[in-house]
Structure 1
Amino acid sequence: MSATQDSPVVRTARRAKEAAAEIAPLPRTVRDAALLAVADALTARTGEIVAANAADVDKARASGSPASIVDRLTLTPQRIEAIASDVREVVALPDPVGEVVRGSTLPNGLELRQVRVPLGVVGIVYEARPNVTVDAAALCLKSGNAVLLRGSSSAYASNSALVDVLRDAVAGAGLPADAVQLVPGESRESVKELMRARGLVDVLIPRGGASLIRSVVEESTVPVIETGVGNCHVYVDEAADLDTAVEILVNSKAQRPSVCNAAETVLVHAGIADAFLPRAVEALREAGVTVHGDEAWQKAGADVVPATEEDWGTEYLSYDIAAAVVPSLEAAVQHIREWTSGHTEAIVTRDTAAARRFTALVDSTAVMVNASTRFTDGGQFGFGAEIGISTQKLHARGPMGLPELTSTKYVVTGDGHIRS
């Protein structure tokens, strides 16, 4: 399947490409006005959105979906107002388009500038969170991109209603309505067409579980930014303050266990295991966390479940954590290298040399020193918002804010220069 075929998905992508060319040169004021119109329209048309969402929620309940999935799917007037508020916050963020990354005058007198430009057409493939529909659209429009939205079939009515509101709002503000489009179709085939629309779609960003991300990465001919999967580790060093270590461990695991920056494994230096493990087991128990531990952890708590090889590679996204004792910092690093997804790792220590060594040896998106893994987040990093957290190295890594939704081009200005 190629982008030359005339299918509904390909026609949608072609319209997006035309829209992207229209909005790329528009000034910030026009894009910001469109986003403010989006926020106002979401509030004004809340009843319409809630009614569409109710159909999705009823279908999810009838199919026996877990309560957590139903909750993520549900839109209430309060949640829609919060989404509108988030859009207004995006308006206030600095505009990355046109920013000069670097510039100089070459020895021959040519003026060289590297400037930020929109990526073009950004495709977002995501699961049953209709708030992502608006979040992704707002970030893409702010950064001068057109966006193709492919949510899950379980949220199709909700996403359709939201995209109708978005398209009407941006068109009323002077932007092409096709800058925001829902990818047509609810079948797996429509996703495959999107993934193969190379030349029309500039980049795909999958947001969701491991299987979704792996499928898009492995099957797409469109460039993909891999996001999200988080097998994150907390290493408690021999020189750690025990009180601090307990607090960071519990916060990393239990503050919100269903997100990608929650800790899934704790590693403890053997030198402090006797003192730390009983306290950690008790604190995790009080937080409702089940520990899947090695022999040392099992001796520290009767309710510790024996860990298996599978536990070390598991992103639980639940109140579960894998736990092991290691003989050294180097052993902890080796364990992390073998099992990490490259998202976030943390060290708790009062030894600055150990902290420096850990941060030098661990190659992940974010490395925390005496801080919770839960801080790997665009909002927490001061970016204001994020489209996702990239766990790859090209072209973006870590929380992806507005600058990461741009590329660059070189503008070279001469005065009749010719090359000899």
Structure 2
Amino acid sequence: MVASREALARLPDGGRFIALDSLRGVAALAVMLFHMGPFGWLGALPFLRNGWLMVDFFFVLSGFVIAASYGGRLAQGFSRRHFLALRLGRVVPLHLATVLAASAFEWFYVSGVLGEQARPWLFWRGVLLLDGFATGASNPYAPVSWSISVEIVLYAIAAVLFGTGRRGVAAALLLAGGCIAALTLEWNHPGLGRLLQRGVLGFALGVGCHWLHRSWHPRLGIGLLTLLEVACLATLVWLLAAMPLGNRTLLLTSPVFALTVLVFARDKGGISRLLQVRPLILLGTLSYSIYMLHMLLIRPLAKAGPELLRMLGRPDLVATQPRPSGLAILALGDGTAMAVSLVLIGLTIALSALSFRWLEEPARRWSRDHARRWGPAAAEREALTI
């Protein structure tokens, strides 16, 4: 979920995976549009109404990238402790900043002004990265940090199993198989619920994708690769729009995400080349910040917008349908809603650029520099932070 162009350029296999990084940025925007709700022409598209499934793409891609950058190193003796410290240094600072900003709004406006009951236990569950062990993803104090909680569990599993040979593979297959069974049966209980199950399944598929990418090299022309790219994306759009198995459709989308990663990792098809334009590369670079920060704009507008409209004498612009999703509480009309959506996307990208420069990159450099001081091994001095 968190890769920069610079880091991808230094991957051990020589690959840069630019198309995958751009797809990561597109997926982050899809999650943002999902959280906006059926708001305007774009947000109302059927496949975006199920954009929550794009988080599973992040899990698959995370497994692929972590296996690419650390799998061989961990097998060669790279310190597990340093690996985890590098990963925590990469994802935790922005998580904490996001939780504090979201919590300030909840305490001062939602509770202080609107009078809604404060829920401090949700703040602590979010800030301590325990949301991944819950049965649902709803936490206004930490809107999307549940997936970071799951990611950290996945990093710990990778630290234990990478480089352990057949026993590690067997354990990974057992974990992934158990999660498939639990998702099929819709077994969702605190501690090992649906959120964690999704992460384990996606991450395992991503690791498997990297093994195939490294060991299988069929000769595929640009035409065939382009056809495969189009087929993967079309299948995903159809699955997200139709949701043929309801919430269990993720058992279909996760393997298609894995195939998509495998195809686009070649960076040679026609769609891959389109994804290598500078704006999309930038979007991929900023994807972690976009994913983490977008709710800092959407939720305040969804909560304060109706009150502002009533104060302006326009209660007719506040939706009255039961429990409208996201910004659909604002009945602004499709054209106006579309304009607001584009402005929010632009503001989120701008905020993410600031976050990347002043928080993400300094945190990554700090964690990498400290990892170098911890151990003299060459593998550790060359460690990537992706």
Instruction: Determine if the TM-score, normalized by the shorter chain, exceeds 0.5.
Output: no
Rg larger in structure: 1
TM-score, normalising length: structure 2: 0.23
Q: Using CA pairs below 8 Å that are at least 6 residues apart, which structure has the higher relative contact order?
A: 2
TM-score, normalising length: structure 1: 0.22
Bigger share in strand: 1
Bigger share in helix: 2
